[in-house]
Amino acid sequence: MTILNASINFDNKLYKADIEASLSHAEMLANQNIIKRNDFEKIKKGLLQVKKEFEKNKIIFKNELEDIHTHIETRLIEIIGSTGKKLHTARSRNDQVATATKIWAREECKEIDSLLKRLQKSLLSKAENHINDLMPGFTHLQPAQPILLSHHLLAYVNMFGRDRENYSSLKRHNFSPLGSAALAGTTFNINREETANKLGFNGIMRNSLDAVSDRDFILDILNLCSLIFIHLSRLSEEIILWSSAGFNFITISDKYSTGSSIMPQKKNPDAAELIRGKSGRIIGNYVSLFNIMKGLPLAYSKDMQEDKEPLFDSIETTKLCLLAMVGMIDSIKFIPKNMRSMCSLGFLNATDMADWFVKELNMNFRDAHKLTGNIVKLAELKNIPLEKLSLKELKKYNHKISNKIYDALDIEKTIQNKISEGGTSPSNVKREIVLAKDKWLK
């Protein structure tokens, strides 16, 4: 039972947050004349010594002390004697745990946001370097329409931007549970606003039952990590595809790839594959805590101890993989000629032909779509691109077709003509890069 109860092997990383909260709590107790000022000074000195001992790895963890909070209090009492026992006045381990976890997670999520910003910066830098390079855009993993590589990269800038907006929404949880005690509050005349302010919270949680039993803030963090990993996994999948011989769009640095143990010619995109693989674990952490919380009555239950491992794992893994992706993007070498070459496959300008029929021949789009499909069949039969069909051949399908159609079918011009807002034209993409820098990198 001792080992089952113990959480010290994973919650020890909360020591700084717990000591920070304890210092604020003790000072508030002194300010409210609940403990003597001299007692607070002793507690403060003792807690700072405990902090140094943790930093120097001098604390020996014991399962019988269960968690980090008990370890700190026990060591404090060893250092300053019975005065240390006054620290727990007007608080419970329930509100103590919730407070320390919130403080720790808040700081960790700041690092995640910083890494997301670095990744956006890397993607924007690559987009600027390849502002006019063409590549095939895909639907169903089939070449569909030509786009700019820079436009493709900006899609991920937007995805990670939404992740950063999700991070910003976590501020709604930045309210302090400290002082809620076990579940009902306390008989002592404490000042919860004081400790909330000192600890960087925006205020206090106003219901003591909710304060000690709320884990919505962790669920939202796990949701954030899951969405980040969905985006990382999609980008990783494209890196894996683009580095394969069938695509040959990019070269991955040796730092982020490995060779085969048996095939000397192989260069495997291991970093991208590991990021893609870890996404399942992070999403699993999210689902795990949802299942833990869904049936719990108010207020605290020991089940909630199971919130820590998913939280710690998701945050640490998210930071690690974001850092790896930044390095991978920075080091990737794109091969524009191969991307441009694939644009000649699959009749990527067929939609532009249909659009030309609508504009120039005054056809409705459904009829234009059908006509284009018939012309594509001829090009497939002759094994040539649409723009290589002769005007004579095209006129057999509609005598009104003129030489102007060849301008519409030119790959570069199909890109330039995508002028709708948010489209892939160079003018749009240049403007979006400026807007993205202004929004995300300041």
Active site residues: 140, 260
φ, ψ for residue 4, nearest 5 deg: -60, -40
